[in-house]
Amino acid sequence: MRVLGVDPGLTRCGVGVVEGLPGRPCKLIGYYVVYTDPDDDIALRLLRLDTELAALVAEHKPESVAVERVFSQHNVRTVMGTAQASGVAVLAGARAGLPVQTYTPSEVKAAVTGSGTAGKAQVTSMVTRLLGLDAPPRPADAADALALAICHIWRGGTRARMEAAVLAAKRRARR
């Protein structure tokens, strides 16, 4: 399963592509940060983000897209731009006909570190280890996007295993 994770942001948007199967080690395909100029018009910035995300989806052909959910407890000055960027990211996946799943920051942290309150450094360190990288991915936006992709593969896997277990139990019950 190949997943494209997006840590949405207007000035810096992290994108990470990971391949893997539930319960198996994941493989890094690539990571990127899309930058847009804060001095540019909002329309130009969202258009650039849309164009870059569409290009990355076309290049990597992921089977699904995972986007971090935005909360309003963040910095009020920047949260509107982040929310607009997340809308564009979700749309980029949907327009390519892909399933899009959103995860809260604590779901992602819990998936890769075991703790929903882990810090940025811990997330980066676990992403580096889980993907078997020689050096941590930089900047942190890229590491967060990779963590999202890993979270989606593993949680999708958990769900698939649970569904399989439920099916197996039903089959046993029928015998």
Query: Of these, 50, 107, 133, 157, which contacts a copy of itself (CB under 8 A)?
Result: 50
Which C-beta is closer to a copy of itself: that of 102 or that of 124?
Answer: 102
Query: Of these, 38, 61, 94, 169, which contacts a copy of itself (CB under 8 A)?
Result: 94
For 14, counting Cβ atoms within 10 Å of its Cβ (0-12 exposed, 13-18 middle, 19+ buried), the class is buried
163 is catalytic: no
**DSSP codes, 40-104:** S-HHHHHHHHHHHHHHHHHHH--SEEEEEPP-TTS-HHHHHHHHHHHHHHHHHHHHTT--EEEE-
The answer on whether 41 is annotated among ligand-binding residues is no
107 is catalytic: no
Tokens of 172: 């046993």
Query: Of these, 12, 30, 60, 80, which contacts a copy of itself (CB under 8 A)?
Result: 80
134 is catalytic: no
Catalytic residue (one of 19, 39, 68, 107): 68
> Which residues participate in catalysis according to the annotation?
7, 68, 141
